Amino acid sequence: MAAVPDQPYEKRWRALVGISILCFVVFVDFTVVNTILPGIQRDLRTTNDQLQWVMNAFFLMLVVFMVTNGRLGDIYGRRKALYIGVVVFAIASFVAGAAPSAEVLIACRFVQGICGAALLTCSIGLVNHHFPEAERGRALAVFMSVTGFGMAVGPLIGGVLMSALSWRWAFYVNVPVVVVGFLVAFDAVIETPPQTGEKVDWLGLAFLTPGMAGLVVAIMKANEWGWASPLFLATAAAAIVLLAVFFVVERRVAFPIIDFALFGNRVFLACTVVALTLGGFIGLGSFMAPQYLQTVRGEAPYVAGLMLLPISALVVVVPPLIGRLADEHGPMRFIALGQVGLVLSALAQIFFAPDSAVPFVLFGLGLFGLGWGLQQATATLAATAPFPTARASVVIGVLYSIWNVGSSLALAIGGLIFEVLDKASLDAALAAEAITLTDADRHVVASLLSDPSQATTALGALTPGLEEKILPLFRDAFMAGYHGAMWYLLITCAVGAVLVPLIARGGRARAA
């Protein structure tokens, strides 16, 4: 294992704070666009497809370049990769804020995603580099607390900035935050030793990059294209072939991008299961909960934001509380508790109704935040602990790539379940009430549910007297789809809760 730099305690923790601030903006950008899309559409006159790419371009590049950028950081130095990445990220953020067109904004989101992949993989490697094993759990807990809070409050930040200023400030604000983080971290972060004897596997990159891109695009577009459509099948097949060739190449080169021996470690393999299930819950759960609060319950956006605060609060509070305990007793028991928390959250949300009591809703959402807080830092600690710190960035790149693939899968499969059950429930209810709706009527009522404040002006588009019958049917249909999505999360997290301890049992939990 590489030696920890001889550095004063205060400077070591200042390095951690600076790195955490720099990565905070990346995690904010995971979710900040969710609440600024209407402003973007209004000002840039974007199509729905362009809006989807504003959201997906960032995520796609994160997944595609996570492992690659981690490997480059390991070889050439993580401090260098971190600083180059954050400077380009800040420039892309400023240009995104000033974007005159959707095409420029989307291009900036691609660049942000590539740079964000460098920041996320190299930052955790740097945290491990600066702290001895006895302090690493606490350090990672602080890092995950700050960055997890960024992801959780991203929609709130976007909504506040768009209301008070403009959607453009959701991107502009990244620049001063990066400057602050850079000033805090600059002279405190010590470079990792470059691996001068190793080379970049360019052949492997040539297969990994398009293979991961094809896989993620196929998953993201599956519901839109159709799971049995020629376009989906061709894209998925091409991605699988490219990744299979990548696997063969990596088994034969001297310095592979991914050493597949990683998966031979039982603790790391168990952490990949955690990454799949937690990533899936964060992806699908964070998408569905705000819709339930605003569309079904009719809560104002700021009230919905307040009701989501238990998630954010626990993501911030829990990791530092358990960091020292994870150092002393190992992270696996907290990972198991977090998995149980996710199972219980999904179970509670299956019983959500349009008129559920607020304390019960807060309880169900709070369990989500508890499970997230218990797992994110501890899974990262457990995944990296069995390996030398020189390999930390690649280990993190693989783990986070799996996490993001899990999020994409959950959104695709859970979204499909929601759509099927939503439509089936609505069709059955309309038939039972002997109500026939045109496509225009469906769109009108759906818009009413997403923005109840417009009800008085939009109801006139419906046949007189139908609104009181139709609105409850749409709400019930939404809840049928919502419950189906939660059943998906319950089953996957329950399977994970069983598999994780079984896989990890007997695994090597510390670097040799």
Domain boundaries defined on the chain: 1-197, 201-254, 422-481
- Please check whether residue 395 is in contact with residue 67, taking contact to mean a CB–CB distance below 8 angstroms: no
Measured distance CA(413)–CA(420) in Å, rounded: 11
Distance CA 418, CA 141 (A): 34
Residues 102-106, mean pLDDT to the nearest whole number:
88
Token pair of 63 as six digits: 């997944």
What confidence score (pLDDT) does residue 357 get?
92
Q: Which of 166, 134, 145, 183 is nearest to 22 (CA)?
A: 183
102-130 vs 133-164: helix crossing angle, rounded to 10: 160
106 or 47, higher pLDDT: 106
Residue with tokens 């990445």: 85
Whether the pLDDT of residue 4 is over 60: the answer is no
C-alpha distances (whole Å) from 207 to each of 35, 244, 247 are: 35, 9, 9
Token digits for 14?
A: 């200042």
State the first-to-last Cα distance of the chain, in angstroms, to the nearest integer: 8
Q: How far is it, in rounded angstroms, from Cα 126 to Cα 122? A: 6
On whether the CB atoms of residues 311 and 365 are closer than 8 A, the answer is: yes
Distance CA 376, CA 164 (A): 33
DSSP 203-246: HHHHHHHHHHHHHHHHHHHHHHH-TTSHHHHHHHHHHHHHHHHH
Token pair listed for 417: 């379940």
| Short-list 512, 135, 143, 507, CA closest to 327 | 135
Per the listing, tokens 């190992």 go with 330
What CATH number does the domain located at 1-197 have? 1.20.1250.20
C-alpha of 4 from chain center: 30
Q: Which of residues 446 and 382 earns the better pLDDT score? A: 382
CA nearest to 432, candidates 462, 476, 483: 476
Q: Which of 194-203, 360-369, 471-480 has the highest mean pLDDT?
A: 360-369
CB 218 within 8 A of CB 257: no
pTM of the model: 0.77
Instruction: Please give the structure tokens belonging to residue 209.
Output: 């990059």
% of the chain beyond a pLDDT of 70: 86
Average pLDDT (179-194) is 80
Please tell me the distance from the alpha carbon of residue 173 to that of residue 66, in angstroms, as a whole number: 24
Buried b / exposed e along 256-291 (16+ C-beta atoms within 10 A): bbbbeebeebbbbbbbbbbbbbbbbbbbbbbbbbbb
Q: CA nearest 490: which of 405, 399, 417, 401? A: 417
Please state which of the ranges 136-140, 318-322, 389-393 shows the lowest mean pLDDT. 389-393
User: Which of 389, 291, 373, 297 is closest to 335 using CA atoms?
Assistant: 373
Give the angle 239-241-244 at the CA atoms, nearest 5°. 110
- Interval 346-372: pLDDT, tens: 999 999 988 899 999 999 999 999 998
**pLDDT confidence of residue 392:** 65
Per-residue pLDDT tens over the stretch 151-161: 777 777 777 77
pLDDT of residue 492: 93
pLDDT in tens, 205-223: 788 888 877 877 787 777 6
